[in-house]
Chains A and B, each alone.
Chain A
Amino acid sequence: MKKRSSEETRVLLGNVAIARGIVEAGCHVVTSYPGTPSSEIIPAVAEFKKELGLNTYLEWSTNEKVAFDNALAASMAGKRAAVAMKQVGLNVASDSLLSSAYTGVIGGLVIISCDDPGPHSSQTEQDSRFFAILAKVPVFDPSTPQEAKEMVKEAFELSEAFQVPVLLRPTIRVSHAKQKVILFPPKILDRPANFKKNPERWAATPRYRLILHTKLNKTLKKIQEKFEQDTKWNYEVRKGQGTALGVISCSASFAALMDILEELNLREPFNILKIGTPYPFPQKRVSEFIKRHQKVLVIEETDTVIESQIIDKSKVLGRLTGHVPLQGELLPEVIYDILADVLGELGIANLEKSVDARLDKLIEGLELPVRRPTLCAGCPERAAFFAIKRALPRAIYTSDIGCYTLGLNLKAVDTVIDMGAGITLASGFYQAYHQDKKDIPIVATMGDSTFYHSGTASLLNAVYNKAKFILVILDNEITAMTGMQPTPGTGITADGNKGRKIPLEALIKGCGVRWIKTIDPYEVKNLIKLLKEARKYTQKAEGGIAVIIARHPCLIQYPEELEEGRVKVKITDDCNGCNYCLDFFECPALVLNEEKNRVEIDRKYCIDCGVCIHACPKGAIVPVEERPQVR
């Protein structure tokens, strides 16, 4: 191994810094399911593993609960383990989290749950720190990538010392921030797997669970004492002698607050108490800080974890008093405006508001087009949604989480609730209508990775309870939205090695489905025909669930796939600007020329997939060169 200087610095993405912390802590096993903003952690560990010649076991698991349990077992066998996910992934893994808090761990177990205030790429703005309270596990809340890296290492030490799982909660502005970070060499821990049987702990019945709970509460007390004394993660930034206002802050909000204070240069600056370990809550430290000030403002992201835990709230300003917004990201300008209001209210300083209303008004007056996210030009999922909408225009369309949520734009997605709900809502809708003896078409859509994540349990249930609907699996052979992670369908593992492939067809057959067809969605006409056949099958007395696997690789991941089949198209004078293709095909490469009242092709985006030929009711989109076999 190359000798490394101990003071090497690199600019790292927060998630890469977290990965580095995992490696520096000597962690043996790392598992994850991809989800923004957590997806870069495992690939970065894989890079460090290669660079440093480590023997780390890495796994893209099929879902977050699976990832959690696999990491937990490694920890029970005495190894260090980490599991990473996005905040809604922790909902999926919560069963494991709550139970393992009672049984505890042997080797350090660190759970990384990345929050998404905004939300930028999630269904909810939930605060993972509340899960720490619910599960009764300690939580670290970093403000910067550098701090996140160091906290990971501390979390391992704490987890091992007290035999509890420990949560790290970076928000998106830590995970996707980048910073100059100091690197240290990895710890090498020799920990041969050695599971020591102890059924009263590892297979505890309710009677023993009570004992474990009592023990956990005692442990939490000890950790709380430790956090009360700690000055590395919980510290005061003394800015002045002023006692009129103190601020308690944490996470990325703390970092923004520090930069704002630096810019403001207040005549009477205020003190800030930074809390890096919000649970178990360092109550005494916080009370002492509050005692020294007349008012205390709590600025934390995303919810009221610190604020709610303060026992005497009589001096406290925050979300519960309406001084901090209850939703949305605490962007620097939002924090600035909160400060301006509070400083004004308390008569400490008069700050101008950060929002320049004149500029906002000018820009608003321009009526700029809203740039909504859209499926890429050539995306096979667009072809599938277009066919679904054409074949069964009045169906209920239940869908799921992934790029294909954007089937919304093609009006072929009616519901998006959580991973797996594409199928469970379809069976639920079927049963609700069937109870009233009503037969309605239902088309569920779900991506391949989502199906491996939570489709099977949903499908088993639907088959078992005799639901009838169409399920279209949009198989692009990758987890696209989160940045191209492999799936069990590709059979590639997290460090790029070969795993065992599990074909969708066999899996779906195993779920008891008897009508399964595979088709390339680029064959729009055939897919429409197939959807109509599928509908008929769902209407038969002996029918059931019809599954269509619409298989075409993601063109971002597999651009070479297009090479053979390029079909350059043009738009003829038959186009009368009816907008049908814009509304129901919605390709970024098709744009309306308002002056000419006709649609044109934007060659910047067009990748010559030729699918839009099917999207014009007038037949005005045609191949430039007549080919013998246009799809």
Chain B
Amino acid sequence: MKTQIVLAGIGGQGILFASKLFSELGLKLGLDVMGSETHGMSQRGGSVIAHLKLGQFQSPLNRRGTADILYSFEENETYRTLKFLKSGGCCFANLVSGDRFDSHVLDYLKKKEINFRSYDASGTALKIGSILATNIVLIGFSVGTGLIPFQYQDLRVVLEQLGQKKNLAINLKALEIGFQEGKKD
């Protein structure tokens, strides 16, 4: 299996943690893992992007138009990183409820047969007690939609293994609620 993932947002949204979650998942599934992270100056409030490639790859970066899945935790970063998706790829975008995604861009995505799903993951994360769980809510949501090749149970196990004691309970809850919401979508 080969899966190319892009995770995008801004500093502090837990993008590196989300990327770690998927790389540990890759290990668990016996896949090769390759990826890339943002460090340094760009971390100071700038755009943060992580690339992850599961399966046989040599380069850590996703070329434009080749990624299978895009997670974006911030609206403007979604627009900026859509270019990485291939035709037939999936985008899971965190979108504050009430906000609308640009209709011309949506038309374009439709033509490219890109599956675009937006969800107010921040809103849900806030409701369950921490905006920091936005990343896990959105990932749970994506699994719920059945559009990605990963299983809820596997992700849950990996999340438990990563064992961030302080946030584990809330992250598990975030994964589950996101998953349920994704199923409804």
Chain A residues whose C-beta falls within 8 Å of the C-beta of B168 in the assembled complex:
none
A256 & B63 in contact (Cβ 8 Å cutoff): yes
- Per-residue interface assignment for chain B, residues 27 to 54, with 1 indicating a CB less than 8 Å from any chain A CB and 0 otherwise: 1000011111111111011110000000
Residue from A13, A366, A403 in contact with B37 in the complex, judged by beta carbons closer than 8 Å: A13
A120 to B38, CA, bound (A): 9
A362 & B27 in contact (Cβ 8 Å cutoff): no
B83 & A360 in contact (Cβ 8 Å cutoff): yes
Residue from A178, A365, A588 in contact with B45 in the complex, judged by beta carbons closer than 8 Å: A588
| Identity of the chain B residue whose Cβ is nearest the Cβ of A358 in the assembled complex | B108
A552 in the interface (beta carbon within 8 A): no
A483 in the interface (beta carbon within 8 A): yes
A355 to B102, CA, bound (A): 21
Residue from B40, B42, B64 in contact with A333 in the complex, judged by beta carbons closer than 8 Å: B64
A36 & B46 in contact (Cβ 8 Å cutoff): no
Which of the segments A183-191, A258-266, A493-501 contacts the partner chain? A258-266
B44 & A375 in contact (Cβ 8 Å cutoff): yes
Interface size class of chain A, counting residues whose CB lies under 8 Å from the partner chain = 35 or more
B60 & A37 in contact (Cβ 8 Å cutoff): no
A322 to B114, CA, bound (A): 36
Chain B residues whose C-beta falls within 8 Å of the C-beta of A224 in the assembled complex:
none
B104 in the interface (beta carbon within 8 A): yes
Q: A36-B39, A359-B108, A481-B40 are in contact. Are A372 and B46 (CB under 8 A)?
A: yes
Chain A residues whose C-beta falls within 8 Å of the C-beta of B44 in the assembled complex:
373-376, 403, 406, 481
B59 & A255 in contact (Cβ 8 Å cutoff): yes
- Per-residue interface assignment for chain A, residues 239 to 256, with 1 indicating a CB less than 8 Å from any chain B CB and 0 otherwise: 000000000000010111
A504 in the interface (beta carbon within 8 A): no
Q: A11-B24, A179-B34 are in contact. Are A359 and B83 (CB under 8 A)?
A: yes
Q: A363-B82, A366-B102 are in contact. Are A376 and B63 (CB under 8 A)?
A: no
Q: A258-B59, A260-B63, A371-B10 are in contact. Are A481 and B41 (CB under 8 A)?
A: yes
Chain B residues whose C-beta falls within 8 Å of the C-beta of A173 in the assembled complex:
36, 59-61
A604 in the interface (beta carbon within 8 A): yes
B108 & A255 in contact (Cβ 8 Å cutoff): no
A331 to B62, CA, bound (A): 9
Chain B residues whose C-beta falls within 8 Å of the C-beta of A252 in the assembled complex:
59-60
Chain B residues whose C-beta falls within 8 Å of the C-beta of A177 in the assembled complex:
34-36, 60
- Per-residue interface assignment for chain A, residues 347 to 380, with 1 indicating a CB less than 8 Å from any chain B CB and 0 otherwise: 0000000111011101101101101111110000
Closest CB in chain A relative to B171 CB, distance in Å: 19
B80 in the interface (beta carbon within 8 A): yes
Residue from A259, A331, A355, A372 in contact with B57 in the complex, judged by beta carbons closer than 8 Å: A259
A213 to B11, CA, bound (A): 50
Closest CB in chain A relative to B4 CB, distance in Å: 10
Closest CB in chain B relative to A596 CB, distance in Å: 18
A176 to B131, CA, bound (A): 27
B65 & A354 in contact (Cβ 8 Å cutoff): yes
Chain A residues whose C-beta falls within 8 Å of the C-beta of B130 in the assembled complex:
none
| Identity of the chain A residue whose Cβ is nearest the Cβ of B45 in the assembled complex | A374
A37 to B64, CA, bound (A): 24
Chain A residues whose C-beta falls within 8 Å of the C-beta of B60 in the assembled complex:
173, 177-179, 252, 255
Within 8 A of B (CB), among A368-412: 368-369, 371-376, 403, 405-406
Q: A360-B83, A362-B105, A371-B46 are in contact. Are A121 and B23 (CB under 8 A)?
A: no
Closest CB in chain A relative to B91 CB, distance in Å: 12
| Identity of the chain B residue whose Cβ is nearest the Cβ of A377 in the assembled complex | B45
A120 & B83 in contact (Cβ 8 Å cutoff): no
A363 to B33, CA, bound (A): 31
B45 & A121 in contact (Cβ 8 Å cutoff): no
A356 & B64 in contact (Cβ 8 Å cutoff): yes
A259 & B36 in contact (Cβ 8 Å cutoff): no
Most A Cβ at <10 Å: residue of B58, B79, B83:
B58
| Identity of the chain B residue whose Cβ is nearest the Cβ of A352 in the assembled complex | B65
- Per-residue interface assignment for chain A, residues 29 to 46, with 1 indicating a CB less than 8 Å from any chain B CB and 0 otherwise: 000000011011000000
A311 to B24, CA, bound (A): 47
Chain A residues whose C-beta falls within 8 Å of the C-beta of B104 in the assembled complex:
362, 365
A143 in the interface (beta carbon within 8 A): yes
A37 & B39 in contact (Cβ 8 Å cutoff): yes
A180 & B32 in contact (Cβ 8 Å cutoff): yes
A259 & B63 in contact (Cβ 8 Å cutoff): yes
| Identity of the chain A residue whose Cβ is nearest the Cβ of B62 in the assembled complex | A332
Chain B residues whose C-beta falls within 8 Å of the C-beta of A144 in the assembled complex:
34, 58
Q: A332-B63, A373-B45 are in contact. Are A178 and B37 (CB under 8 A)?
A: yes
A483 to B42, CA, bound (A): 12
Closest CB in chain A relative to B98 CB, distance in Å: 15
| Identity of the chain A residue whose Cβ is nearest the Cβ of B56 in the assembled complex | A262
Closest CB in chain A relative to B96 CB, distance in Å: 12
Q: A356-B65, A358-B108 are in contact. Are A259 and B82 (CB under 8 A)?
A: no
A522 in the interface (beta carbon within 8 A): no
- Per-residue interface assignment for chain B, residues 55 to 98, with 1 indicating a CB less than 8 Å from any chain A CB and 0 otherwise: 00111111111100000000010011011000000000000000
A555 to B39, CA, bound (A): 18
A368 & B36 in contact (Cβ 8 Å cutoff): no
A121 & B42 in contact (Cβ 8 Å cutoff): yes
| Identity of the chain B residue whose Cβ is nearest the Cβ of A86 in the assembled complex | B40
Chain B residues whose C-beta falls within 8 Å of the C-beta of A366 in the assembled complex:
79, 102, 105
A336 in the interface (beta carbon within 8 A): yes
A539 in the interface (beta carbon within 8 A): no
A374 to B42, CA, bound (A): 9
A15 to B102, CA, bound (A): 40
A120 & B23 in contact (Cβ 8 Å cutoff): no
A180 & B45 in contact (Cβ 8 Å cutoff): no
Chain A residues whose C-beta falls within 8 Å of the C-beta of B61 in the assembled complex:
173, 256, 331-332
Chain B residues whose C-beta falls within 8 Å of the C-beta of A359 in the assembled complex:
82-83, 105, 108
| Identity of the chain B residue whose Cβ is nearest the Cβ of A253 in the assembled complex | B59
A482 in the interface (beta carbon within 8 A): yes
Residue from B36, B39, B58, B63 in contact with A121 in the complex, judged by beta carbons closer than 8 Å: B39
**Additional A-B contact list (15), CB under 8 Å, known A9-B27, A11-B27:** A11-B33, A120-B42, A173-B61, A254-B58, A256-B58, A259-B59, A263-B63, A263-B66, A333-B64, A354-B63, A372-B46, A373-B44, A374-B45, A481-B41, A483-B40
13 contacts between A and B (CB under 8 A): A37-B39, A121-B40, A121-B41, A121-B42, A173-B59, A173-B60, A176-B36, A177-B34, A332-B66, A354-B65, A362-B102, A368-B76, A369-B76
B residues sitting closer than 8 Å to A (CB atoms) are: 10, 23-24, 26-27, 32-42, 44-47, 57-66, 76, 79-80, 82-83, 102, 104-105, 108, 131
